[in-house]
């Protein structure tokens, strides 16, 4: 029973790390990356459709993105969706291809992005701690129902704390890597 609770907590903590990495990939660094446009949706025949299903996104160089739209009539809608996003990008179309130049980040903007990244990381740590709290409450309920002894309860809490520390350390490593990426010019 204890092993199942610990296993579940580990899986949930792992998913939290994956979610954090995914959300940090969407935060722009100095280099162009296709995941920058992952959250953009386009009105395609009355339906919200992810941008990557409307066209092919490529990275021709470190400072720009290119989108080849499958349906040439959708170029205007794609440009509008990119402009409406909060990414601060200005797409340029030549009729068949949409180019998105990425301006270099200013020092002030980099510092703002570092604050955003730290907030995301703190949210991940809170989620990890909540998972630990849930596991500890499950242990307490097992103790109340006399399904485990006091010693097993303390050992289980110690092991869940060690796992929590490991995952918090992973979040700190991901944070440091992203901060370094943001601050390099």
Domain of 175, CATH number, reads: 1.10.132.20
Q: What is the pLDDT of residue 184?
A: 76
Of the three residues 49, 73, 101, the one that is the final residue of a domain is 101
Cα(44)–Cα(74) distance, integer angstroms: 7
Of the three residues 43, 66, 101, the one that is the final residue of a domain is 101
Residue 97 and residue 111 share a domain: no
Cα(137)–Cα(88) distance, integer angstroms: 45
Model-wide pTM > 0.75: no
Q: What is the pLDDT of residue 30?
A: 65
Confidence tier at 45 by pLDDT (50, 70, 90):
confident
Reduced to 3 states, what is the DSSP secondary structure of residue 58?
A: strand
Which domain range does residue 136 map to?
2-26+106-183
Q: What is the pLDDT of residue 94?
A: 85
Q: What is the pLDDT of residue 40?
A: 85
CB 43 within 8 A of CB 77: yes
Half-sphere CA count of 102, side-chain side, radius 13 A: 21
Residue 59 and residue 18 share a domain: no
Each residue's pLDDT tens digit, 60-95: 887 888 998 888 888 888 888 888 876 777 888 887
Q: What is the pLDDT of residue 185?
A: 62
DSSP 148: S
Going by C-beta distance under 8 Å and a sequence separation of 6 or more, which residues neighbour residue 165? Answer: none
Which residues face 56 on adjacent strands? 68
Of the three residues 76, 101, 126, the one that is the final residue of a domain is 101
């Amino acid at each position: 029973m204890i092993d199942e609770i610990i296993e579940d907590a580990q899986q949930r903590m792992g998913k939290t790390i994956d979610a954090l990495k995914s959300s940090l990939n969407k935060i722009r660094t100095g280099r162009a990356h296709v995941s920058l446009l992952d959250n953009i949706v386009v009105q395609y025949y009355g339906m919200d459709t992810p941008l990557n299903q409307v066209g092919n996104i490529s990275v021709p160089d470190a400072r720009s993105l290119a989108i080849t739209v499958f349906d040439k009539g959708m170029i205007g809608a794609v440009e509008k969706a990119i402009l409406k996003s909060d990414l601060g990008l200005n797409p340029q179309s030549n009729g068949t291809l949409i180019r998105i130049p990425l301006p270099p980040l200013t020092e002030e903007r980099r510092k703002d992005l570092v604050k955003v990244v730290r907030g995301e990381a703190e949210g991940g740590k809170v989620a990890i701690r909540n998972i630990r709290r849930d596991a500890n409450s499950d242990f307490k309920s097992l103790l109340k129902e006399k399904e485990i002894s006091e010693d097993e309860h303390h050992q289980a809490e110690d092991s869940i704390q060690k796992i929590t520390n490991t995952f918090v350390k992973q979040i700190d490593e991901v944070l440091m890597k992203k901060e370094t990426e943001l601050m390099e010019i």
